[in-house]
Amino acid sequence: MVRLRGLFGVGVVLAFLTACGGGTSTLTPQAFSPARVARHAVPVVRPAAGFKVLYNFGKGSDGAYPEGYPLLVGGKIYGTTYCGGAYGASTCTASGTGGGTVFVINVDGSGEKVLHSFNKGTDGSSPDAGLIAIKDTLYTTTLYGGTNGSGTVVAITTAGKEHVVYNFKGGAKDGANPYGPVVDVNGTLYGLTYNGGGGQGCGSNYCGTVFSVTPAGKEKVVHAFDESKGDGGFPAAGLLDEGGTLYGATSAGGADGKGTFFSVTPAGAEKVLYSFTGASDGGYPASAPVDVKGTFYATSASGGICGSKTCNGTVYSITTKGVEKAIYAFKAGSDGANPYDALVAVNGTLYGDTLAGGSAGDGTVFGVTTGGKESLLNTFAGSSGGAEPYGGLLYSSGKLYGFTVFGGTQHASGGGGGTFFIVNK
């Protein structure tokens, strides 16, 4: 079982980024493992003006380690936690045993309520993705659980009634371990599985898929990635629907072994638009793109050039014809390092978060103009301020909302972890 993002130590991720091969060699990303649950000692860092922790996860059955992006529906925030809930261990010490939740919370951090606790069984386990809303129903994926243990697509009403839309079978004929959120295209849901599909060059778990599934549960593998043919492997981000064509990224593989940016039609016609080299263009892309006036923007977890050294990730632009450019490279200093999440575009500025870096090493919230000028909005320092922002940001009424997967007062006291925060842009 393999995983790029989630509850891991940054050192493990960087080891993965170094170890992955290129071309048609077998790709071996690091194992799925919620590894870092004990906080390290960090210096005291004053939060930026306008930053505030609104809620601390891990008080009990409320869930722990929020990993999906915040979703605003009807004036309330909806999200998922990877662990905890009524059936999951708040310490999240083993893959697939964390349970997890779907929750709702007021925008001021009050009134947190668990809509559904995953029971680590047939209803799914360990949701890693954010939610989407179609009318009064929310849809997401779970990495594990379901009748075959290979993950699920689930639906849950805003009143808390949950049902499994589809159980992944795993193996060569189906996907396994759905990664990232689904997107709605004319009433059909499309998404990515990190494993499965039967494509070669990625080891026994295969290379992953693009899949479709109807709300009634009819599933289809739209495209199975095959690194032996050079189209990449292990898609680890969401998809963007642009004019009936889906765009996304694989976290590894391609011509230089550092990941690809691809397009695929609902009929399954897939094309590699760009293969990352890991140099100035970035490497190991792990986020869905956002469209700004016909150009896509996204993040790569590694790469970029800082003088004579390799940087620690990029914000890059790419056109539908595959013309790519890194518009900003993270130096792993106060500006942050290892951006994994999708960007939010507001009036020509792209807002996002980094999992690491900043003055305390626990991540940042940043803004980058489409021209490449970066500004730092907040740096995290563990403990009560939260650590390692994850899942992406929500913009609403001049403010940015997000989650950290570690830190918070409950983590510091030995309970679960993570926070819900707000920061002025």
Judge whether 357 and 382 are in contact, CB under 8 Å. Answer: no
- Is the pLDDT at 104 greater than 60? The verdict is yes
d(CA 74, CA 126): 26
Place of tokens 């949701």: 127
Residue 92's pLDDT is 64
What are the backbone angles phi and psi of residue 11, rounded to the nearest 5°? -60, -35
Residue corresponding to tokens 């991720």: 13
Please report the pLDDT score of residue 423 as a whole number: 95
Can you give the pLDDT at residue 7?
Answer: 39
Nearest CA-CA partner of 316 in 298, 340, 337 = 298
Q: Say if CB 175 and CB 168 are below 8 A apart.
A: yes
- Contact between 315 and 339 under an 8 Å Cβ cutoff? The reply is yes
Band (pLDDT 50/70/90 cuts) for residue 326 is very high
User: Tokens 């990029």 sit at which residue?
Assistant: 314
Query: Which two structure tokens, joined as six digits, stand for 54?
Result: 């609104």
Q: What is the pLDDT of residues 218-273, one digit of tens each?
A: 999 999 999 999 999 999 889 999 999 999 999 999 999 999 999 999 999 999 99
Nearest to 63 by CA among 320, 415, 382: 415
Using one digit for the tens of pLDDT, what is the confidence trace for 283-301?
999 899 999 999 999 999 9
pLDDT level of residue 367 (50, 70, 90 thresholds): very high
Closest of 332, 379, 337 to residue 45, by C-alpha: 379
pLDDT at residue 13 greater than cutoff 90: no
The closest of 28, 24, 118, 101 to 58, measured between CA atoms, is 101
What pLDDT is stored for residue 418 in this prediction?
93
Arithmetic mean of pLDDT, 75-95: 79
Provide the 8-state DSSP code for 70: P
Out of 4-18, 38-52, 178-192, 373-387, least confident range? 4-18
Q: Is the pLDDT reported for residue 37 higher than 90?
A: no
Whole-number Å distance between alpha carbons of 172 and 189: 21
Task: State the pLDDT confidence band at 5, using cuts at 50, 70 and 90.
Answer: very low
Report the DSSP beta bridge partners of residue 258: 253
DSSP assignment letter at 293: T
Q: What are phi and psi of 336, to 5 degrees?
A: 110, 175
Confidence of residue 307 (pLDDT cuts 50, 70, 90): confident
CA 133 to chain centre: 18
**Does residue 10 surpass a pLDDT of 50?**
no
pLDDT confidence of residue 416: 66
Full DSSP string of 308-350: TEE-B-EEEEE-TT--EEEEEE--SSTT-B---SPPEEETTEE
Q: Which of 203-207, 260-264, 307-311, 397-401 has the lowest mean pLDDT?
A: 307-311
What's the chain's average pLDDT?
86
Residues 249 and 262: beta-carbon distance below 8 Å = yes
383 pLDDT band (50/70/90 cuts)?
confident
pLDDT of residue 414: 57
Task: Label residue 318 exposed, middle or buried (CB < 10 Å: 0-12, 13-18, 19+).
Answer: buried
Q: What is the mean pLDDT of residues 202-212?
A: 95
Whether the predicted pLDDT of 425 surpasses 50? yes
Helix (H), strand (E) counts: the chain: 2, 34
SS in 3 state form for 237-278? CCCEEECCEEEEEEEEECCCCECEEEEECCCCCEEEEEECCC
| Between 196 and 412, residue with greater pLDDT | 196
Type of residue found at 392: G
Evaluate if residue 75 carries a pLDDT over 70: yes
Question: Which pLDDT value is given to residue 156?
Answer: 97
| High-pLDDT (> 90) share of the chain, % | 73
Dihedral of the alpha carbons of 374, 375, 377, 382, in degrees to the nearest 10: 60
Q: Is the pLDDT of residue 26 over 80?
A: no
Q: What residues have CB less than 8 Å from 230, skipping those under 6 apart?
A: 23, 24, 253, 254, 255, 272, 275
**Other beta carbons less than 10 A from residue 111's beta carbon:** 11
Predicted structure pTM score: 0.90
Task: List phi, psi (to 5°) of 10.
Answer: -60, -35
Residue 285 phi/psi, 5° resolution? -65, 140
First to last CA, the chain: 38
Beta bridge partners of 357: 362
Q: How confident is the model at residue 45 (pLDDT cuts 50, 70, 90)?
A: low
Count of C-beta atoms within a 10 Å radius of residue 74: 9
Q: Is 102 helix (H, G, I), strand (E, B) or coil?
A: strand
Mean pLDDT of 126-139: 94
- Tracing tokens 């997000």 back to the chain, one arrives at 402
- What is the bridge-based pairing of β-strands 349-354 and 344-346? antiparallel
Phi-psi group of 188: left, alpha or beta (phi > 0 → left; psi -120 to 50 → alpha; rest → beta): beta
SS3 state of residue 180: strand
